[in-house]
Structure 1
Amino acid sequence: MSRQDRHNEIEINFFPSGEMTYLFHDRKIIVPKRHLIAFWGLIPHQIVGYKECSPYYVCTIPFSLFLSWNLPSGFVDMILKGNVMTDENDEFAAHDEFMFEHWVNDILQPNLREVATMEIRARLTRMANRVAEEGSNVALKDYETNIVEQIAIYIVRNYQNPFKVADVGKSVGLHPDYANAVFRKTFGCTIYEYLLSERIAHAQRLLLTTSLGVTEVAFNCGFNSVSSFNAAFLKITGCTPRDFRKRNK
């Protein structure tokens, strides 16, 4: 991916072979092959590397549908807090590959779509119950990051506070203009644009998962005025914060 992706759906991935390196919010992790992972797509995520150019499976679940499934609350809470949930159980790996192969076709057929949906729900329920029994998520390891990734991580760890591009450059030992140039070359946007996208992504999460008012959300996300928040939100999402909350509640 040339830039980070975000969408208001629950995403599950399965890699039959090879490894995939993701930058999730402020963590760089390697997802091993034959591991099912699940995360909220509204958390910024980007593929930054891979081992073996092999196809992999991606399934997205509408946010409202996921919530309606009433999965174990601990599992849902961890998803909504930005955790990447993983299932390392080798017992299910062969079944996961088989099921994904069928889901790809079944989802496109009206008479089988509901069956596929029920099977996906059942698979996540098994995963959620195992996480609940084990008491914690199976941890994915953090890996060393390069300078451009360090800039992205600095932003996502500080976007709720006021800072300048000069602060970002200083954090990685680069002149701010050069830091902005190398960042744009890799991520396809300026540091400031990336900062705004992080703030708006966080605002979307707050609007969907809390009852905070728009003003509280704006200041919680690092904006110094409601007007600048509304303008940025409209530019990035195409709607106002209030409209976004109404559409997705």
Structure 2
Amino acid sequence: MSAERGASLASEGDFLIERHIADAMNAAHWHDHVELNYLLDGQMTYIFNGRQEQVEAGRLVLFWAAIPHRTIAVTPNAPLVCIYLPLVDFLGLPIDRGVRQSIMQGRFSADARGHAADAILLPQWVEDWQFGDAARRQLVLDEIKLRIRRFVLDVPVGDHSAARPSAASGASAAVRRAETLTDLIHARYSEPISLPMLAKLAGMHPSTANKIFRGILGIPVNEYLMRYRLARAMQQLAETDAPILQIAYDCGFGSSSRFYDIFKRRTGTTPRLFRSSLGREGRAD
């Protein structure tokens, strides 16, 4: 099963763990889960939050998949275990608040040190989830939550460089130019920006900027901007009590009606129901 297929299955909002041969994605995608990846062998490279991230065998990685991401390079026949944990389950974990916030703000976290037990436990979890009864499946979920808590304990608190890593030294000119565009989006998503404005700030022609961006992330600049705005709005809905109208403006949607329309079309639910599903009510708008 491909990573895109697994993410599609997980997009319904349920927990999922599966094993497949890692492959490159045709385009960046997103889904509302905290995702954990564990390569049993080989390497792969992600474009996540507009940056290149190396994933090595034997090192668990964790990120919030609502941030657009794409695998662009994979060792042939590399076996990968993917875990998709619903956001509500992640937010319910008793973990450091600063680490949780940094993850929801776009941090790509790798285990500080490899744990030999992971190479045994993760394939076992896949098997138990696929073939076990309800009690065994619940045990898998409980054990994964405990593993995440251990993972978070090893994540340095306050290390903001981890949330915005520098480009790999061997990054191509196209990747660096795509990173420039994503940096601008991350800095200005709350403003009424457009592709021509972003391209001008990046020193590119709009059609050139979009072509480069499509080549690296597989989606247009405006699509990335919309998905990034939605991710930031989901973060505020999950972590703050701010009124929905304020969130709509803070995240660049311009009006609450436009925010509701886009949010419903893209997520299948409304901002208010999304917030309620996470156990938050927020203040009246």
TM-score, normalised relative to structure 2: 0.75
- Aligned: 1:220 with 2:250: yes
Residue 176 of structure 1 corresponds to: 206
Asked if the contact 1:218–1:225 (Cα under 8 Å) also holds between the matched residues in 2, the reply is yes
Match of 2:128 in 1: 106
Contact 2:34 2:90 in 1 (8 A): yes
User: 1:180, 1:137 → 2: CA distance?
Assistant: 29
Q: How much does 1:47 deviate?
A: 1.5
Greater per-residue helix proportion: 1
Mapped to 1, the partners of 2:104 and 2:218 lie a distance apart of: 27
- List alignment gaps of at least 5 residues for structure 1: none
Distance in 1 separating the partners of 2:52 and 2:180? 10
Does the CA-based 8 Å contact 1:40-1:82 persist in structure 2?
yes
Compute the displacement of 1:80 (Å). Answer: 2.9
Select the residue among 12, 27, 32 that pairs with 2:36.
12
- 8 Å CA contact 2:94, 2:149 repeated in 1: no
Relative to structure 1, the CA distance from residue 53 to residue 236 in structure 2 (aligned partners, 3 Å threshold; closer, same or farther) is same
Letter in 2 for 1:77: Q
Aligned positions of 1:160-171 closer than 5 A: 160-171=190-201
Residue 91 of structure 2: aligned partner: 67
CA contact (8 A) 2:177 2:212 kept: no
Residues in 1 aligned to 2:123 and 2:160: alpha-carbon distance in whole angstroms: 26
Give the counterpart letter for 1:100 in structure 2.
L
**Gap runs ≥5 in structure 2:** 1-24, 280-285
CA distance in 2 between counterparts of 1:97 and 1:37 reads 14
Alignment of 1:1-249 (within 5 A): 1-90=25-114, 92=115, 94-108=116-130, 109-110=132-133, 111-131=135-155, 139=162, 142-143=167-168, 144=171, 145-184=175-214, 187-249=217-279
How far apart in 1 are the matches of 2:81 and 2:201?
A: 37
Distance 2:218 2:166 in 1: 27
> Is 1:234–1:240's contact at 8 Å kept on the other side of the alignment?
yes
| Structure 2 counterpart SS, 1:12 | strand
User: Which amino acid in 1 is paired with 2:200?
Assistant: K
Distance 2:267 2:82 in 1: 23
Q: Which residue of 1 aligns with 2:21?
A: none
TM-score, length of structure 1 as denominator length:
0.84
Cα offset for 1:137? 8.6
1:2–1:115 distance in 2 versus 1, CA, 3 Å: same
Q: Give, in whole Å, the separation in 2 of the partners of 1:177 and 1:62.
A: 37
Shift of the alpha carbon at 1:162?
A: 2.0
Secondary structure (helix, strand or coil) at the match of 1:20 reads strand
Letter matched to residue 121 of structure 2:
M
TM-align CA RMSD? 2.7
Runs of 4+ with >6 A deviation: none
Cα distance between partner residues in 2 of 1:167 and 1:12? 35
Displacement of 1:156 in angstroms is 3.2
Looking at structure 2, the residues matched to 141 and 53 of structure 1 have their Cα atoms a distance apart, in angstroms, of 28
- Contact kept in structure 2, 1:87 and 1:138, CA below 8 Å: no
Q: 2:263 & 2:275 partners in 1: Cα distance? A: 12
Q: May I ask how many residue pairs the two structures share in their alignment?
A: 246
- Which range is displaced more, 77-86 or 193-202? 77-86
> Is the contact made by 1:42 and 1:205 (CA closer than 8 Å) also made in structure 2?
no
Deviations 1:120-151 (A, max 9, x none): 1232222222336x875995664233434543
Aligned-partner Cα distance in 1 for 2:267–2:225: 15
- Percent of counterpart pairs with the same letter? 30
Name the CA shift for 1:97/1:212 in 2 (closer, same or farther; >3 Å): same
